[in-house]
Structure 1
Amino acid sequence: MKADPAVQRQLLDLAEADGELARIEHRRRTLPEIAEIVAAEKAVQGRRDAQVAVRTQVDDLDREVKRQEKEIDAVRSRSDRDNKLLQSGTVAAKQMTDLEHEIATLRRRQGALEDDLLELMERREALEMDVQHTEVELAKAEAAVTDASSRRDEVFADLETQEARSSAHREGLLPKFSAELLALYNRVREQKGTGAALLRSRRCGACRLELDRSVIAQIKAAPPDEVVRCEECGAILVRTPESGL
């Protein structure tokens, strides 16, 4: 394949533009903020689960408190009724003894229920502190997601600007190359990662390997407009005074 040496040298500009675009895409995929966001979102979900678990316990305790209060009210009402009946003076002596025994039993029962209620209220108070703690931790995790997302978006915006600039530069270069030369360049780039590189001091700029003396002799003997390639990586080798030929 033949191509004007000046056109071949412009392949280096195309390769640089493609390299920059590849670096931009690689950075976009491997931004540390992306992993940070994933970890922060996982933390958010964990904090939410913890919050739901604690609030569920609070709701369960609230139902238990209401049940306990209802039972205490029932015992208190029964005790008040027995006391009124006892004080009415209308009950027989045997019934009076039974009422006094029942009132004493109800009093003990009410005391036990009130103790249980106090314990429930203390547990609920402790859980309320847990709820507040989970809210604080959730807010911190959500703030971490917001912060990392903001930093990611800033980097993405900068990368988009760089990408647009490099893409425009690349598009401006394409008309300079023949369809045959461009097809070769693109094929090599897709297969090896680099389509063209400078031959500098007898070393390929793509694979960084030093070429054999015999290969260098063949390249040196090739006409200036001959498109030569690295025997190791297949990249188009662009010859300049730096090539050491």
Structure 2
Amino acid sequence: MNAAPADQIRLLDLQALDSRLDLLSHRSNSLPEHAEIQQRGSDLTELRSLTVAAETQLSDTKRELVKAEQDVEQVVTRAARNQQRMDSGSVGAKDLANLQHEVGALAKRQSDLEDVVLEVMERLESSQTRVSEMTARRDDAQHSLAEAESRRDAAQAEIDVEVEKVTRERATVAAVIPDDLMKLYTRLRQTQGGTGAARLFQRRCEGCRVEFATADLRTIRAAAPEEVLRCENCSRILIRTSDSGL
């Protein structure tokens, strides 16, 4: 393949711009905020689940307290009714004895149920504290996640601005490079780790860093300026400049 020396030199400009775009892509993909956001998002998901579990436990405990208080109320009501019957003097001796026995049993039952109410109230207080704690932690995690996302977006915006600028510059350079040379460069970039063209600098290929032997340098010197040379070691397009050491 032949190409004007100026077009070959432009490949170095194009390669520099493509390398810059590759670097910007790497920066975008490796922003530290990505890992931070992933971790904070995972933490937030867990805290949300824990908060829901705490709220569910609180709701269940509230229902349990209502039930326990209702049980106490039922016993108090029945004991009051029995006491009222006894105080009325309208029951016989046998019924009176039975009522007195039941009132005593109800008093014991009331005491036991009130102990249950106290125990449930203690668990209710603990559940309320748990909900408050988990809600605060969840909200803090949400805020931290939002901050990390904001920092990522700001960093990405800066990268996007530079990507747009470099992309415009690349389009300008690529537009004047012959199609066949451009196709070869593009293919080599895909197969050679992003570098399709490399400068011959001080007798060394800057693509693979291999120094050419004397015989190879003689062949390069003998090549016409329009001839598109390839590095024998890495196959990249080899660009000759005034610093090639020929």
Q: TM-score, normalised by structure 1?
A: 0.96
Unaligned runs of 5+ in 1: none
Q: TM-score, normalised by structure 2?
A: 0.96
Instruction: Measure, in 2, the Cα distance between the counterparts of 1:2 and 1:131.
Output: 75
**Kept after mapping to 1: 8 A contact 2:18/2:170:** yes
1:198 — aligned with what?
199
The secondary structure found in structure 1 opposite 2:161 is helix
Instruction: Measure, in 2, the Cα distance between the counterparts of 1:180 and 1:219.
Output: 21
Post-superposition Cα deviations, 1:157-213, rounded to whole Å, max 9, x if no partner, equal 111111111110011012221111111111111111211111111211122222333
Output the amino acid matched with 1:243.
Answer: S
Any residues of structure 2 matched to 1:1-245 within 5 Å, and which? 1-192=1-192, 193-245=194-246
Instruction: Measure, in 1, the Cα distance between the counterparts of 2:78 and 2:213.
Output: 108
Question: Which stretches of structure 1, 4 residues or longer, exceed 3 Å deviation after superposition?
Answer: none
Post-superposition Cα deviations, 1:198-235, rounded to whole Å, max 9, x if no partner, equal 11112111222223332222112212221111112211
Percent identity over the alignment is 38
**Kept after mapping to 1: 8 A contact 2:5/2:226:** yes
Instruction: Measure, in 2, the Cα distance between the counterparts of 1:172 and 1:146.
Output: 39
Shift of 1:30: 2.0
Post-superposition Cα deviations, 1:17-61, rounded to whole Å, max 9, x if no partner, equal 111111111222222211211111111110011011111111111
**Kept after mapping to 1: 8 A contact 2:28/2:156:** yes
Post-superposition Cα deviations, 1:116-160, rounded to whole Å, max 9, x if no partner, equal 101100111011111111011101211121011111111111111
Shift of 1:63: 1.3
Unaligned runs of 5+ in 2: none
Output the amino acid matched with 2:27.
Answer: R
RMSD of aligned C-alpha atoms?
1.2
Instruction: Measure, in 2, the Cα distance between the counterparts of 1:186 and 1:90.
Output: 110
Aligned length: 245
The secondary structure found in structure 1 opposite 2:243 is helix
